[in-house]
Amino acid sequence: MQLFHHLHDALERHLPSIADECDRHEALRYLRGLESVLASKADSTESKVIPFDDHQVRRRLERAIAKTHARQIAEARRVYQRAVDECGWDIR
């Protein structure tokens, strides 16, 4: 965001020295765009994103994923067994 502030300030200082009207209008267009970006800047509070580089976080995520996969496999086995038991189908 600081880069946008620097660009805005530099363009604002340079604006009076632009003699050509067409170039001046183009510079004003950029200046208004930068002002819009600066006016709608994102909230600079702490991010709630979990850092995946942390070993403990990575381990917990891998464990949670493994549990989810195990549940999905168990559910698939139940569905398969139900099909075999109820219909006599041996799906292979």
Q: Are residues 27 and 63 in the same domain?
A: no
Q: Identify the burial level of 31 via C-beta atoms within 10 angstroms of its C-beta, where 0-12 means exposed, 13-18 middle and 19 or more buried.
A: middle
3-state helix, strand, coil in the chain (%, to 5): 75, 0, 25
Q: Are residues 54 and 31 in the same domain?
A: no
Q: By residue range, what is the domain housing residue 25?
A: 1-45
Number of folded domains that form the chain: 2
Per-residue model confidence as pLDDT tens digits over 44-89: 666 666 666 777 878 888 899 999 999 999 988 888 787 776 666 6
Per-residue model confidence as pLDDT tens digits over 14-27: 888 988 888 888 88
pTM surpassing 0.75? Answer: no
Predicted pLDDT at 56: 80
Predicted pLDDT at 67: 94
Predicted pLDDT at 89: 60
Q: Are residues 3 and 40 in the same domain?
A: yes
Q: Are residues 39 and 54 in the same domain?
A: no
